[in-house]
């Protein structure tokens, strides 16, 4: 699951994931121009989100738990929340209901 974003500034006050990925890529000798489109993934290695970010082309793994909890689940909850589902029910499996329960 690649995240795409554009570098918009030269100096960032907070180290964002895309900036972390760019710094690692530049340290590895990859040329990344300012204002370029950056494609990165969140990996399992690192403590902060910016430490976990790696260029998509050089990443060796990805953190599936991060994507489920921070990308997929919030979007799914917006839809399924209208039907009475909550985060625990989705994550822990819940029980399947038939049409008669509606």
Written as one string, the DSSP assignment of 51-88 is HHEEETTT-----HHHHIIIIIHHHHHHHHGGGT--HH
Question: What does the pLDDT read at residue 95?
Answer: 64
CA 66/CA 72 separation, integer angstroms: 9
Residue extents of the structural domains in the chain: 3-55, 64-93
pTM: 0.74
pLDDT of amino acid 94: 60
Residue 49 scores a pLDDT above 70: yes
Q: Is 90 exceeded by the pLDDT of residue 92?
A: no
**Of 14-23, 45-54, 88-97, which gets the smallest average pLDDT?**
88-97
* Mean pLDDT, all residues of the chain: 87
pLDDT higher than 70, residue 96: no
């Amino acid at each position: 699951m690649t995240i795409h974003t554009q570098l918009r500034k030269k100096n960032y006050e907070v180290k964002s994931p895309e900036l972390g990925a760019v710094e690692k890529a530049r340290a590895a000798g990859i040329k990344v121009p300012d204002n370029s489109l950056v494609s990165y993934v969140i990996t399992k290695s690192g403590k902060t989100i910016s430490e976990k970010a790696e260029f998509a082309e050089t990443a060796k793994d990805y953190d599936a738990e991060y994507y489920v909890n921070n990308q997929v689940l919030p979007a799914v909850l917006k839809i399924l929340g209208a039907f009475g589902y909550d985060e625990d029910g989705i994550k822990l499996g819940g029980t399947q209901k038939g049409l008669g329960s509606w």
